[in-house]
């Protein structure tokens, strides 16, 4: 089990004992090795950060108490449109770009994507939510990005934030590097990344009609999850978010 920099709870959970079978209880006892009376960093999902105290332990559950402080600042105004990739890639993206602080991730049905990926266990269970929560905990934050799935590109484009700078990564038709893309410091940014097979010509037309420019990350072809991290990092730098 990965180390959790902060342990997150839904607001309704903090009033009840935590089952010893819960992975958070395992983390408190076996990873942090806390004894009754000791404290840990805790947070309410999409709410305040604070401190938790391990009040008592029995065979079935942990009794916890909490003191809450302030909520963290809003997520960064960066929104991703991603052609739905294979499940393991989606897991990596959900965790890692959540850690980087993006506001939303929209996994769309792209023309060249594999339709069967949307019916994987990742999406049919709560596993995708756990990936997001783990990414948030890694970042020592409580704010979760909005996750959208199964829209067409046209549907996703219709719901973009107004006034956002828009760029689609495309090694075939890009006229410049993403390093030349220049949003204003306070401007929301939408970054579109294709699935493993890239964008289809009809999707490129939709991007142009929606005001996107095309950019690349250099001559080397990157994995989708690597491209996401590289693109978000560059845009964070341009927005002064370091």
- pLDDT per residue as tens digits for the range 107-124: 999 999 999 999 999 999
Contact 192, 211 (CB under 8 A): no
pLDDT of residue 49: 98
All residues at 6 or more sequence positions from 81 whose CB lies less than 8 Å from its CB, including other chains: 106, 108, 153, 156, 157, 190, 191, 192, 193
Q: Are residues 52 and 109 in the same domain?
A: no
Q: Are residues 149 and 42 in the same domain?
A: no
Residue 27 clears pLDDT 80, i.e. is over it: yes
Q: Are residues 94 and 181 in the same domain?
A: yes
State how far the Cα of 127 lies from the Cα of 132, in Å rounded to an integer. Answer: 9
Structure tokens at 19: 């089952």
Q: Are residues 55 and 101 in the same domain?
A: no
State how far the Cα of 118 lies from the Cα of 63, in Å rounded to an integer. Answer: 39
pLDDT of residue 1: 52
Domain end (from 18, 45, 68): 68
Residue 75 clears pLDDT 90, i.e. is over it: yes
State how far the Cα of 215 lies from the Cα of 212, in Å rounded to an integer. Answer: 10
pLDDT of residue 53: 98
Per-residue pLDDT tens digits for 177-198 = 999 998 988 899 999 999 888 8
Residue at 98 is within a domain: yes
Residue at 174 is within a domain: yes
pLDDT of residue 175: 84
Contact 8, 45 (CB under 8 A): yes
pLDDT of residue 242: 82
Q: Are residues 90 and 43 in the same domain?
A: no
Q: Are residues 213 and 109 in the same domain?
A: yes
Average pLDDT value over all residues in the chain: 95
Residue at 1 is within a domain: no
Structure tokens at 226: 């690597």
pLDDT of residue 185: 84
Residue at 220 is within a domain: yes
Domain end (from 49, 68, 87): 68
Is 0.95 surpassed by the pTM of this model? Answer: no
If one counts every other C-beta atom within 10 angstroms of the C-beta of residue 208, the result is: 13
Torsion (CA) 56, 138, 49, 17 in degrees, nearest 10: -30
Residue at 40 is within a domain: yes
Q: Are residues 171 and 232 in the same domain?
A: yes
| CATH number of the domain within which 172 lies | 3.40.1280.10
Domain end (from 40, 68, 96): 68
Q: Are residues 81 and 186 in the same domain?
A: yes
State how far the Cα of 3 lies from the Cα of 134, in Å rounded to an integer. Answer: 9
Structural domain count, the chain: 2
Residue at 2 is within a domain: no
Residue 2 clears pLDDT 70, i.e. is over it: no
Residue at 62 is within a domain: yes
Q: Are residues 11 and 94 in the same domain?
A: no
Residue 229 clears pLDDT 60, i.e. is over it: yes
Residue at 96 is within a domain: yes
What are the helix (H) ranges across the chain? 23-26, 87-99, 121-124, 127-138, 153-158, 201-209, 224-238
Q: Are residues 111 and 21 in the same domain?
A: no
| CATH number of the domain within which 61 lies | 2.40.240.20
Q: Is the dihedral of CA 240, 149, 81, 152 positive or negative?
A: negative
**Lowest-pLDDT choice from 64-73, 90-99, 172-181, 202-211:** 172-181
Q: Is the dihedral of CA 180, 186, 105, 130 positive or negative?
A: positive
Q: Percentage of the chain with pLDDT > 70?
A: 99
Domain interval for residue 221? 76-238
pLDDT of residue 195: 80
pLDDT of residue 200: 94
Over residues 143-168, mean pLDDT: 96
Q: What is the DSSP letter of 120?
A: S
């Amino acid at each position: 089990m990965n180390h959790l920099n902060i342990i997150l709870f839904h607001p309704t959970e903090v009033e009840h004992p935590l089952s010893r079978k819960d992975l958070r209880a395992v983390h408190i006892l076996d990873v942090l090795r806390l004894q009754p009376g000791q404290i840990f960093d805790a947070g309410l999902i999409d709410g305040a950060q604070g401190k938790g105290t391990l009040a008592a332990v029995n065979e079935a559950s942990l009794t916890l108490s909490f003191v809450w402080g302030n909520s963290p600042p809003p997520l960064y105004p960066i929104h991703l449109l991603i052609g739905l990739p294979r499940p393991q890639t989606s897991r990596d993206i959900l965790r890692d770009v959540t850690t980087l602080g993006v506001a939303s991730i929209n996994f769309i049905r792209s023309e060249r994507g594999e339709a069967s990926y949307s019916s994987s266990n990742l999406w049919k269970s709560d596993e995708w939510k756990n990936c997001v929560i783990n990414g948030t905990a890694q970042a020592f934050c409580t704010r979760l990005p909005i996750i959208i799935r199964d829209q067409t590109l046209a549907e996703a484009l219709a719901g973009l934030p107004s006034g956002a700078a828009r760029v689609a990564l495309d090694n075939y038709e890009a006229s410049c590097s993403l390093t030349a893309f220049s949003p204003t410091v306070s401007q929301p940014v939408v970054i579109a990344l294709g699935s493993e097979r890239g964008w289809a010509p009809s999707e490129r037309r939709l991007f142009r009609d929606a005001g996107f420019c095309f950019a690349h990350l250099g001559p080397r072809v990157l994995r989708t999850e690597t491209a996401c991290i590289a693109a978000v990092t560059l845009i964070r730098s341009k927005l002064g978010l370091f």
